[in-house]
């Protein structure tokens, strides 16, 4: 009886133990059932990718070329500079120039022909031709708001000569611009030569940005420095006086601020029309000196020095093409343009040449200007 009593008291404890063990078994089996089954992990080959190719895929347009209307936010002058991938963000330029130099007040003389009451006055013009030159430039882009810096050197050295044949016409009077007096008939050919040497350095800071989907502007400011040396020789011979000779030179330099605007309009893929404008306001120096020989009399022209403010205007209009290559890792551009430049107050040689005669000595003579124009072919390489 006592045994059954103890068994009866132990049954609840045994039941609780069995219930606890059964619950643990269910929890373990459930956790094993829910655990995901994993397959054997196979080694993965490393992927080699071109970061420049990925960068190209991220952009929906080629920077520096036409875009679609929704490619960029409106009302913001987004950067439009040439943007190569993984490079130095640097570019070089090289230009072949084929320009003609024109100058005020370098003509030879006035010739009077005819007899009696019928006379003709003719100006012997100094004619010039096109001569080759070159430009070279180096530029780089800055991270600060996508501005770029550019330095360009221009070299144009020209020599021109003209000859007036005496036998072509019978002269009643011969009035050279480069001697002291007026003469009668010339007995030898009249020759004149003009040498012009221009060396110019432009330093620019600019920023290219989109104005429209196909129009890009690049305003610029900077510094211009140039050296401009000229020399004029005149040789002739007349019956009464003998040999006539004059040699006058004008050495000049200028330095000052530079302002401008470059414009590119793309009309088909990488093809474009462009126009460039610039103006320089410069502090300049001119020194004129030389000598004149008239028969047996020699004139030494004391150095005349003049400081002025010179303005230089430049303009170009042309056609070009450019493109990115190798996933935008480099860029090439080629263009051809008609270019024109004007340099004010560059010819102080005429201060002497046209003031020798008493008829002109008291008159103020405006210094001559220099004009350059012609073909410019340019290549550009970004890397």
Beta carbons of 97 and 156 less than 8 angstroms apart: yes
pLDDT surpassing 80 at residue 355 = no
Instruction: Give residue-wise pLDDT tens across range 100-124.
Output: 999 988 888 887 777 777 778 888 8
C-alpha to C-alpha distance for 301 and 38, rounded to whole angstroms: 103
pLDDT of residue 1: 54
| Rounded to 5°, angle at Cα 346 from 342 and 349 | 145
- Nearest by Cα to 216 from 336, 72, 314, 341: 72
Q: Where are the domains of the chain?
A: 51-382
Q: Residue 220: which residues within 8 A CB-CB, separation 6 or more?
A: 150, 204, 205, 206, 258, 259, 260, 261, 262, 278
In the 8-state DSSP scheme, what is residue 328? T
Q: Is 360 helix (H, G, I), strand (E, B) or coil?
A: coil
Token pair, residue 95, equals 């230009």
In DSSP terms, which residues pair with 199 in a beta bridge? 155, 227
Reported as a pLDDT band with limits 50, 70 and 90, residue 87 is confident
Instruction: Give residue-wise pLDDT tens across range 223-263.
Output: 999 999 999 998 887 766 778 888 999 999 999 999 999 99
Q: Judging by DSSP bridges, how do beta strands 297-325 and 271-294 pair with one another?
A: antiparallel
Determine which helix (DSSP H) or strand (DSSP E) holds 345, and give its type and residue range: strand 330-347
Mean predicted lDDT score pLDDT of the chain: 83
Architecture of domain 51-382: Beta Barrel (2.40)
* Average pLDDT of the residues in 325-346: 96
In DSSP terms, which residues pair with 249 in a beta bridge? 231, 289
In percent, the amount of the chain with pLDDT more than 70 equals 75
Reported as a pLDDT band with limits 50, 70 and 90, residue 88 is very high
Determine which helix (DSSP H) or strand (DSSP E) holds 270, and give its type and residue range: none
C-alpha to C-alpha distance for 349 and 353, rounded to whole angstroms: 6
**How many other C-beta atoms are found inside a 10 Å radius of the C-beta of residue 281?**
14
| DSSP letters for 35-57 | SPP-PPPPPPPPPP--HHHHHHH
Length of the chain: 383
Helices (H) and strands (E) in the chain, counts: 3, 14
């Amino acid at each position: 009886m006592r045994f059954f009593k103890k068994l009866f008291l132990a049954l609840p404890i045994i039941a609780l133990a069995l219930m606890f063990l059964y619950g643990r078994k269910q929890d373990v089996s459930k956790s094993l059932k829910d655990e995901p089954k994993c397959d054997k992990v196979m080694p993965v080959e490393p992927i080699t990718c071109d970061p420049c190719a990925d960068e190209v895929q991220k952009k929906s347009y080629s920077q520096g070329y036409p875009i679609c209307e929704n490619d960029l936010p409106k009302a913001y002058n987004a950067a439009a500079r040439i943007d190569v991938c993984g490079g130095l963000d640097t570019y070089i330029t090289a230009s072949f120039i084929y320009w003609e130099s024109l100058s005020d007040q370098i003509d030879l003389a006035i010739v009077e022909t005819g007899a009696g009451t019928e006379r003709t006055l003719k100006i012997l013009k100094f004619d010039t031709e096109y001569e080759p030159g070159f430009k070279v430039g180096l530029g780089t882009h800055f991270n600060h708001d996508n501005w770029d810096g550019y330095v360009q050197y221009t070299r144009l050295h020209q020599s021109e000569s003209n000859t007036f044949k005496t036998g072509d016409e019978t002269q009643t009077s011969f009035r050279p611009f480069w001697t002291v007096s007026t003469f009668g008939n010339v007995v030898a050919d009249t020759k004149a030569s003009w040498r012009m040497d221009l060396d110019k350095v432009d330093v620019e800071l600019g920023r290219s940005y989109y104005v429209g989907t196909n129009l890009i502007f690049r305003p610029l400011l900077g510094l211009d420095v140039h050296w401009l040396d000229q020399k004029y020789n005149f040789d002739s011979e007349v019956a009464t006086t003998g040999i006539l000779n004059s040699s006058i030179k004008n050495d000049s330099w200028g330095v000052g601020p530079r302002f401008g605007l470059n414009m590119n309009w793309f009309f088909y893929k990488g093809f474009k029309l462009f126009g460039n404008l610039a103006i320089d306001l410069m502090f300049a120096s001119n020194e004129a000196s030389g000598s004149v020989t008239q028969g047996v009399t020699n004139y030494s022209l004391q150095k005349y020095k003049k400081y002025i403010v010179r303005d230089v205007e430049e303009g170009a209009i042309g056609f070009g093409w450019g493109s990115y290559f190798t996933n935008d890792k480099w860029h090439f551009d080629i263009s051809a343009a008609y270019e024109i430049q004007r340099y004010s107050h560059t010819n102080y040689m005429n201060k002497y040449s046209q003031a020798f005669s008493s008829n002109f000595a008291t008159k103020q003579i405006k210094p001559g200007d220099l004009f350059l124009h012609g073909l410019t072919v340019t290549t550009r390489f970004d890397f």
